Amino acid sequence: MIVMKFGGTSIQDAAAITNAVEIIRGRVGRRPIVVVSAMARVTDALLEIAETSRHGYGDALSLIEALRSRHLSTAAVLAQRDAQTDCSSSDAKEKLNSVFSELESLAESVSTLGDLTNPARDAIASVGERLSSIIVAAALQAKGVQAELADSRTFIVTDSRFTSAIPLMKETESKAKSALLPIIHSGGVPVAQGFVGATVDGLTTTIGRGGSDYSAAIIGAALGAEAIEIWTDVDGLMTADPRVVPGAKRIRIVSFGEAAELSYFGAKVLHPSTVLPAVERGIPVFIFNTHNPACEGTIIAAQPRPSRNLIKSIASKRGVTVVNITSTRMLMAHGFLRKIFEVFDRHETSVDVVTTSEVSVSITLDNADRIDAIKRDLDGIGEISVEKRKAIVCVVGADLKFTPGVAARVFGAVASSNVNMISQGASEINLTFVIDESEVERVVRLLHDEFFSEVDCDMFA
């Protein structure tokens, strides 16, 4: 049994879906469970529909029509390509229209209330995956695969933190087994939605942007799959984001620990939570390119393999806010850090990088939505300053642990930039620092030149 997850660009139109269907057909013997994202850019469009509805139904309706026409025409093109598809295509059309009716009612009720609650936002955002899964299941059926739509809301059980809900693994495991195993045992291929789940009471939730990778890992762990395959638009996990460094190399094999650090610090190709369920069950994760299926991709496995290059990859994350708290009273005082972290905890704001000196603490935040309230609460503790538009850059490699002089090479390479915070994670496999957002691309390229001007061909391709 394997899980195959297809991202938005991998199913963005009829041609891409045809390609994905061929890839799935080639693996039917391995008993796949297919997990799909929404078609490219659809989740953004749905969130815009949600916001627009707040101010009136009319504008939302025209956005909904654009989505309807994209989905129906994709389904129609796929149906035309295969003469035997009449039955599954009319069925798919009906299902798509029924999801669109639901979307219209949701938008209408948001506009009537003039208020967009997080449960409503999630119900609207979930529509993308529900639509794409209908089309992919029909396209598979049209090619003779016994595909069966599986509604993730019936087996991905989450808490009720709408928009970033956390899966409840125990409940999910038993429900996923009873929903999916009968399909697989009867020779079928379940097609489920990524990103989407439901509370114990059955209210639709989503598990955070980019969360379909995580859904695939949750399902893989729940069913004890042999492998979790993430099918995307690049050849694998690369030495840097190929959009920033066009000459980035593919990493052949990377450890769970390295992949977790890289995704946490910005390597978007993998959602940061994906690795955890896989580690717990020892299930290897593969990253493959839908547009280049012959490529071997990247294997993420338990043990790192030594390499002649000191680091595996460079990740970066923009839009970071730095909060500095300075207090001379901090000197020798215990309980000071606790007070600070309690404030972030109260505002449900997670912190990424922390550095301390004797009189100050600097903390980076990914999500600064509550920054004004956080500042107010921190005020009594010390003097607060906030710096926006910062970025985190992170170099990762299991060998960093054993090699002296890495920091000298990193900071030598970026000597002309103003570096704010420096931290070596407790895992000792990353070195992280903060710079101005405007410097990111230049710094990542400089570091790439420094560390990857020559590559170990056993490790990189």
Report what 211 binds from ligand ASP, ligand ADP, Mg ion, none; CB cut-off 5-8 Å by kind.
ligand ASP
DSSP string, 75-107: HHHHHHT-GGGHHHHHHHHHHHHHHHHHHHHHH
Give the residue, chosen from 9, 206, 362, 420, that forms a contact with ligand ADP under the rule CB under 6 A: 9
Report what 263 binds from ligand ADP, Mg ion, ligand ASP, none; CB cut-off 5-8 Å by kind.
none
What's the closest the beta carbon of residue 213 comes to Mg ion, in angstroms?
Answer: 6
What's the closest the beta carbon of residue 260 comes to Mg ion, in angstroms?
Answer: 16
User: By CB under 6 A, is residue 132 in contact with ligand ASP?
Assistant: no
Tokens of 132: 């794409």
Q: Return d(Cα 51, Cα 67) in angstroms, integer.
A: 16
Tokens of 26: 């080639």
Q: Return d(Cα 214, Cα 226) in angstroms, integer.
A: 16
H helix runs in 26-56, sequence order: 42-55
Q: Please work out the total of residues on this chain that contact Mg ion, with binding judged by CB under 5 A.
A: 2
Return the residues of window 36-95 that contact ligand ADP according to CB under 6 A: 37
Convert residues 346-365 into a mask of x (bound to ligand ASP by CB under 6 A) and - (unbound): --------------------
50 near 110, Cβ under 8 Å?
yes
Name beta bridge partners: 391: 435
User: By CB under 6 A, is residue 220 in contact with ligand ASP?
Assistant: no
Residue (46 or 393) nearer to ligand ASP, CB: 46
Residue 238 has what DSSP assignment?
B
Q: Return d(Cα 371, Cα 365) in angstroms, integer.
A: 9
Residue-wise burial string across 192-227, b where 16 or more C-beta atoms lie within 10 A, e elsewhere: bbbbbbbbeeebbbbbeebbbbbbbbbbbbbbebeb
Numbers of helices and strands, H then E, in the chain: 14, 17
Report what 243 binds from ligand ASP, ligand ADP, Mg ion, none; CB cut-off 5-8 Å by kind.
ligand ADP
Residue 102, C-beta contacts closer than 8 angstroms, at least 6 positions apart: 127
The residue nearest Mg ion at its CB is 210
219 near 285, Cβ under 8 Å?
no
Residue (171 or 233) nearer to ligand ADP, CB: 233
Convert residues 6-35 into a mask of x (bound to Mg ion by CB under 5 A) and - (unbound): -x----------------------------
250 near 238, Cβ under 8 Å?
yes
Span interacting with ligand ASP, options 150-158, 207-215, 340-348, 393-401, rule CB under 6 A = 207-215
User: By CB under 5 A, is residue 211 in contact with Mg ion?
Assistant: no
Report what 194 binds from Mg ion, ligand ASP, ligand ADP, none; CB cut-off 5-8 Å by kind.
ligand ASP
Residue 447, C-beta contacts closer than 8 angstroms, at least 6 positions apart: 240, 314, 393, 395, 410, 413, 414
User: By CB under 6 A, is residue 321 in contact with ligand ASP?
Assistant: no
Q: Return d(Cα 378, Cα 298) in angstroms, integer.
A: 44
User: By CB under 6 A, is residue 272 in contact with ligand ADP?
Assistant: no
User: By CB under 6 A, is residue 397 in contact with ligand ADP?
Assistant: no
Give the residue, chosen from 32, 167, 194, 210, that forms a contact with Mg ion under the rule CB under 5 A: 210
User: By CB under 6 A, is residue 128 in contact with ligand ASP?
Assistant: yes
H helix runs in 285-423, sequence order: 336-346, 371-378, 406-413
| Binding-site ranges for ligand ASP (CB under 6 A) | 7-8, 37-38, 43, 128, 194-195, 209-212
| Binding-site ranges for Mg ion (CB under 5 A) | 7, 210
| Binding-site ranges for ligand ADP (CB under 6 A) | 7-10, 37, 210, 232-234, 237-238, 240-243, 267-269, 313
